[in-house]
A and B are shown apart, each in its own frame.
Chain A
Amino acid sequence: MSERLRADARALPVLALAVVAYGFAFHENATLVQAGTYGAIYAIAAIGLSILLGNVAQISIGQAGFFGVGAYTLAYVTTNAHWNFVPAALLGTALAAALGLAVGVVALRFRGHYLAMATLAFGLIVVGVFHQSAALGGANGISDVPFPQFGALTISGLAAYWFSWAMVALVAVVSLNVLRGRTGRAFEALRNDELAAEVAGVPTRRTKILAFAFAGALAGFAGSIDAGYLGLVTPDTVGVQLSIDLLLMVVLGGVGGVSGAIFGAALISIVNLYGHDLENWRFVIYGVLVIVVVTLFPGGIVGSLGRIAARRRGSREAPPIEQQSRAPAAPAPGRAADAGAAPIEWLRVRDLVMRFGGLAAVDGVSFALEPGRLTSLIGPNGAGKTTVFNAICGIGRVASGSIAIAGRDVTGWQPHRIAGLGVARSFQNARLFAEMTVLENVMAGAYRLEDTSFVADLLALPAARRGERVARERAREMLRLLDLERIAAVPAKELAFGDRRRVELARALASEPGLLLIDEPAAGLGASERARLRDDLLGLRARGMTLLLIEHDMRLVMEISDRVMVLRFGTLIADGLPAAVRADPHVQAAYLGAAG
C-alpha cells in the first residue's frame, strides 16, 4: 500500500477520537452539535469530491447538483409517499449515482477547464430545474421533511450528530477499500498518466465514469441525510455556493483520499459557526487560504502534516540506489510461449495508412512478425516509427489498412482491449506513474490479469483481498527477476534514469504479454546500462517472447536483431537480415544523405 494511503488510514482513528471527544464534550451545546453534524454531512460529499479530484484528477464544480438530487429525492418521497429514511436515502443515492454516471459519460469528452465548465453548467441546470419545478416546491423547495426514524429512535439533535458521523465512518471505510484495491490502482494510474494506463490495460473511460458515479453517489447520500436533518431543502442551499464550499473543504483539508476531506469539512463547518458575524471576512480568508494552499501546500493541511510526520519518523524508504553490473535476467515468458503450443502469428499489419492533417505519416506499411523473434524498426527522424507503434497499440486513428493481433482484427480497438490480448508497450520517455511506487507501477501493469470487480473492492470481499495478495506477489516476483526489488517502495518520480526504463519494462512484462513493443529503450543510457539492456532483451527473446524494437543505436540493433525493417517517409524501404540491411545502398542513402 502506498505511503499516502497508509497515512490516510492512520489519520482516521485520530479523527474518530476527535469526533467522539467533541460529541461528549459539547453534547449540551446545541449550536456546536449542529455545527459538528453539518461537518459530518459535508464530509461525506467532500470525500467523494476528494477522490474524484485527488485520485482521478477530474474536476467538478457541480457536486451540489448531486447533493441536491439526493436531498430532493428524500424530501419528496418522505413527505409525499411516506417512505422511511433508509429506502429514501438509498433511492436518493442511487439516483445521484445514475446521474453521476451520465455526467461521467459526458465528462469523457472534456478535460481541464472545459470539464470544470461542463460540471458547473450541470450544477446550475439542476438548480434551475429545482427552481422551476412546481412539484418540487419551486423557489420555496420542500419543507416539513420528517426526521429519520428507526423504530422508537428519532434521529435529531445529538442523535443526528452520532448518526451522521457513523455514516461518515461507513463511507470512509468503503472508500478506503476502493482506494486500496484494484479500482484504486486504476484511479491512480489514470491520474498519473492516462495514456500509459490505457496502454497497460486499464479501461480508462469506464474508470472515469465510475469515479463520477461514485462521487455523485456520495454527494447524493450526503444530501439525503441533510434533508432529513434540516427538515427542508431549497434550491438556494444546493447551488453553486455549495459546490464551491465543497471544493474549498477538499482543497484545504487535502485533495485525494479520505481523511483530508473529513478534516476540511469539519474545519470549515466549525469556523462557519464561529465566524457567523464575520460572514464576509470568512470567505475572503477561505479564498486566500485556497490560493495559498493550492500553490504552496498542494497536499492540503492534512497532506502537509502527514509529510512532516513521515520525515520525523525517519525514512523507511529504500536504501540508496546503486549501479550494478548484471548477469542476464530471466523475466517471465509470454503467455503463449508454452513449449509445444504452436506459435501464434502475433502481429500482421496490412497496408497501414495513418494521417496527420493531410500528411500521410505512415503510407502503406505491411509486415508480419515472426513469433519469438526480435525485430527492429529503424529509420531517420520523422519516418513514422512511433506512429506505427501507436497504431498497433490502438492510439490514433487508422486512415486505412488493418492490424491483426493473434489472428484477430484489432483495427479501431481501444488500447486497453488490445492490451488485453497480450500486447505490452514501453514509451520513448518511460511513462511511469510518477506518484506510485515501483511495486504499484508493476501491479498496475498486470491490471488485465486480475478480475476483482469494483463491488468486490468496495465491500472488501475475501475474493478481493485474495486477488490483491496474488497481484502483489506476482509483482514482487517480477521485480525480483529484474533485480528491482531493492527499489520496490520508491515512488517512480524519485528513480534514477536508468532504473526508470527497467521499471517500465517490468510493468510491461507484468501483464505476461506475448508481444512486446519497445520504443527507443537505449536512449539516454550509459555504456554499462546499454550492456544490461542488451542482455535483458536477449533474455526475453530466449524465453520465447516476440519483440518489436524502435532504436537509433545502430550497434545495438545490428547486434541483437533477427530482422531489421527500415522506415522512411512512412514506407518500408528495407526489410531483412541486419547485415543485408546495413549494406543496402538505399538505407545508406537514407541515413547518410544521397549524393547530389
Chain B
Amino acid sequence: MLQVGGLAQLVVAGLTVGSGYALVALGIHIILRATRVINFAQGEFVVLGGLIAYTCVTRLSANAFVALALATLAGFLLGLCYERFVLRPAARVGDLAVTIATIGTVSILLYGHALIWGSLPAPLPPFSGTAASTVELAGASIQVQSLWVLGLLALALCALYAFFERTTFGKAIRAAANSPTGAQLVGIDVGTTRMMSVGISIALAAFGGTIIGPITLVGGAGGVAIAIKGFVGAVVGGLDSPVGCALGGLVVGVVEKLLEGAFSYGIADPIVYSLLLVALLVRPQGLLGRRAALRD
C-alpha cells in the first residue's frame, strides 16, 4: 500500500500535471466570458506553446525562461489572430458555427504540429538542474521541475489577478463581458476587449504548455487529452469562476495521479471523463460557480 511519502509524491505529481489543466481551464474560462463559447482547441494551443518553446531552445539556443517568455508572447499574438480570423467571422453565423470552427481548429493544430515538429513528443529542458533532479520534502522525493511548475502557476495566477482586478483595461474587459451594452455606453470597444481576452487566454495556454513540457513532454496526441481534462476541471470547479477553474484543474490532476497510483494506468481516463458527465448532471455550475451563469 502507499506510504505517506508515496502519497505525497502522487499528490505533487497530480498538482504538477494539474497545473497544466488549471491553466487550460482558466483559458477556457476567459474565452467563455469574452465570447460565450467553449474553445475546444484550447489544449492544442497548450501543445503549440510547448513546441514553440522547444524551437526557441533548440534553434535560438535560448534558455528555458526566455523560451517561456517568447512562447507566451507568441501565444498572445496567435490568440489575437484566432479571435479576429476564426472566432469573430464564425460568430456572425451563430454559436453552433463557432463551436464547429473551434473543432476545425483542433484538426488544423493537431496535425499541423505533427507536420512542423513531427509526431514524436519533444523533450523540453527543465528550468533548472536536470530532468531528474529531485528534492527531499517530508520524506518524499519531489521533482525540482514540479516546484518550478507550481511556482510559475502561482506567478501566472497573481499576474492575472493583478491585471483583471487592478488595471483599468482588465476591468474594462470584465465589464465588456458582463454587459456589452453597458460597456458600449461608457465607450469601451467591445471588439477590442474580446480580442484581448482571447489573446490572454491563448497566451496562458502557451505558458502552460511550456512549464509542464519538461515533465509531460509536448507534442503527439497529448493536446486532446489535456483539453478534455482541462474542461473537466473547469466544469467541476465552475466555468464562470476563475478560482473554480484553476482549482478544478488541480483537482483533476490529483485525482488522475491518485487513480493511476492506486489502480492501473488506463483506468484514470474513463473515470475522469465520467466525472465530467456526473458534474454536468449533478452540479453543472461546478463547485464554485453560480446557477445563474448557466442560462448563458
Q: Taking beta carbons and an 8 Å cutoff, which residues of A are in contact with B?
A: 53, 57, 59, 61, 106, 109-110, 112-114, 116-118, 120-122, 124-125, 128-129, 131-132, 139, 240, 244, 247-248, 251, 279-284, 286-291, 294-296, 298
* Docked pose: A294 CA to B37 CA in angstroms: 16
* Complex-state Cα separation, A110 to B119, whole angstroms: 36
Complex contact A109–B111 (CB within 8 A): no
- Are A280 and B111 neighbours in the complex by a CB distance under 8 Å? yes
| B107 close to A286 (CB less than 8 A) | yes
Residue B269, interface by CB 8 Å: yes
* Contact in complex: B108, A244 (CB < 8 Å): no
The interface stretch among B14-22, B91-99, B169-177 is B91-99
Q: Which of B110-132 contact A (CB under 8 A)?
A: 110-112, 114-115, 119
* B residues in contact with A279, CB < 8 Å: 111
With A109-B281, A280-B115, A290-B103 as known contacts, state yes or no: A116 contacts B38, CB within 8 Å: yes
Would you call A59 and B269 a contact (CB within 8 A)? no
Verify B99–A59 contact, CB threshold 8 A.
yes
B102 CB, min distance to chain A CBs, angstroms:
9
In the complex where A116-B99, A247-B103, A298-B97 touch, is A121 in contact with B273 (Cβ < 8 A)?
yes
- Contact B93–A281 (Cβ < 8 Å): no
Closest to A297 in B: B93
Are B107 and A117 neighbours in the complex by a CB distance under 8 Å?
A: no
4 additional A-B residue pairs with CB within 8 Å, beyond A117-B38, A281-B111, A287-B112: A117-B276, A247-B100, A287-B108, A294-B101
Distance of B177 from chain A, by nearest CB (Å): 16
B257-296 contacts to A, CB under 8 A, are 266-267, 269-270, 273-274, 276-277, 280-281, 284
Central interface residue in B96, B101, B274, B280, by most chain A CB within 10 Å: B96
Is A132 in contact with B266, judged by CB distance below 8 angstroms? yes
User: What string of 1s and 0s marks CB contacts (under 8 Å) between B74-94 and chain A?
Assistant: 000000000000100110110
The residues of A that contact B100 with a CB separation of less than 8 Å are 59, 247, 251, 290, 294
Give chain B nearest CB distance to A236 CB in angstroms. 11
**Distance (Å) between the CB of A72 and the closest chain B CB?**
15
CB closest chain-B residue, reference A288: B108
Contact between B277 and A118, CB atoms less than 8 A apart? yes
Bound state CA distance, A278 and B26, in angstroms?
35
The distance in angstroms between the C-alpha atoms of A9 and B129, with both chains bound, is 67
Q: Is the CB of B96 within 8 A of A57?
A: yes
In the complex with contacts A109-B281, A248-B107, A287-B106, A131-B270 CB distance below 8 A: yes
Answer whether residue B145 sits at the interface, using C-beta atoms and an 8 A cutoff.
no
Is there an interface contact between A283 and B97, defined as CB atoms closer than 8 Å?
no
Contacts A125-B270, A125-B273 given; indicate if A116 touches B40 (C-beta within 8 A): yes
**Contact partner, A128, options B110, B273, B280, Cβ 8 Å:** B273
Partner of B277, one of A121, A129, A131, A295: A121
Instruction: Flag whether B105 is at the interface (Cβ < 8 A).
Output: yes
* CB atoms of B280 and A118 under 8 A apart: yes
For B93, the closest partner residue in chain A by CB is A298
Establish whether residues A112 and B277, one from each chain, have CB atoms under 8 Å apart when the complex forms.
Answer: no
Q: Are A287 and B97 in contact (CB under 8 A)?
A: no
* Chain A CB within 8 A of B255 CB: no
By a beta-carbon cutoff of 8 Å, the part of chain B in contact with chain A is 32, 37-38, 40, 86, 89-90, 92-93, 95-97, 99-101, 103-112, 114-115, 119, 224, 228, 231, 235, 266-267, 269-270, 273-274, 276-277, 280-281, 284
- Give Cα distance in the complex from A244 to B92, angstroms: 23
- The answer to whether B270 and A284 touch across the interface, beta carbons within 8 angstroms, is no
**Distance of A256 from chain B, by nearest CB (Å):** 12
Bound Cα distance from A282 to B115, whole angstroms: 10
Of B99, B266, B281, the residue contacting A131 (CB under 8 A) is B266
- A113 with B97: CB separation less than 8 A: no
Contact of B104 among A53, A291, A298 (CB under 8 A): A291
Instruction: Please name 28 pairs of A and B residues whose Cβ atoms are closer than 8 Å in the assembled complex, sorted by A.
Output: A59-B100, A106-B277, A113-B32, A117-B231, A117-B235, A117-B280, A121-B274, A121-B276, A121-B277, A125-B277, A132-B267, A132-B270, A244-B107, A248-B107, A251-B100, A280-B114, A283-B108, A287-B104, A287-B105, A287-B106, A287-B109, A290-B101, A290-B107, A294-B90, A295-B89, A295-B90, A295-B101, A296-B89
Complex-state Cα separation, A185 to B97, whole angstroms = 23
Contacting pair B270 A291 (CB below 8 A): no
Given contacts A125-B273, A287-B108, A295-B90, contact A106 B281 (CB under 8 A): yes
**Cβ contact of B86, chosen from A114, A251, A291, A298, cutoff 8 A:** A291
**B32 CB to closest chain A CB, in angstroms?**
8
Contacts of A286 in B (CB 8 A): 104, 107
Residues of chain A within 8 A of B277, CB atoms compared: 106, 118, 121-122, 125
CB neighbours of A122 from chain B (8 A): 277
CA gap between A110 and B239 in the complex, in Å: 14
Is there an interface contact between A288 and B103, defined as CB atoms closer than 8 Å? no
- In the complex, chain A residues whose CB is within 8 Å of the CB of B101: 290-291, 294-295
Residue of A nearest to B232 (CB): A121
Known: A132-B267, A283-B107, A290-B107. A112 touches B115 (CB 8 A): no
Chain A residues with CB under 8 A of B267: 132
* Interface pair A120/B228, CB less than 8 Å apart: yes
Which of the residues B95, B109, B228 comes within 8 Å of A112, measured between beta carbons?
Answer: B95
- Report the Cα distance A553→B82, complex, angstroms: 49
- In the complex, chain B residues whose CB is within 8 Å of the CB of A289: 104
Which residues of chain B are near A131, meaning CB under 8 Å? Answer: 266, 270
Residue from B38, B92, B99, B107 in contact with A287 in the complex, judged by beta carbons closer than 8 Å:
B107
| Distance in angstroms between the alpha carbons of A131 and B264 in the assembled complex | 13
Evaluate whether A244 and B106 lie within 8 angstroms (CB atoms) in the complex, with A118-B280, A290-B100 already known: yes
Residues in chain B near residue A120, CB distance under 8 A: 228
What residues of chain B lie closer than 8 Å to A118, measured between beta carbons?
A: 276-277, 280
Residues from chain B with a CB closer than 8 A to the CB of A282 are: 111
- Residue in A closest to B110 when the chains form the complex, CB atoms: A283
CB distance from B232 to the nearest CB of A (A): 8
**Residues of B close to A248: CB separation below 8 A:** 104, 107
With a cutoff of 8 Å between Cβ atoms, the chain A residues found around residue B96 in the complex are 53, 57, 59, 112
Query: Shortest distance in angstroms between B122's beta carbon and chain A's nearest beta carbon?
Result: 16
Which residues of A have CB within 8 Å of B106?
A: 244, 287
Given contact pairs A121-B273, A291-B101, A284 touches B112 in the complex (Cβ within 8 A): yes
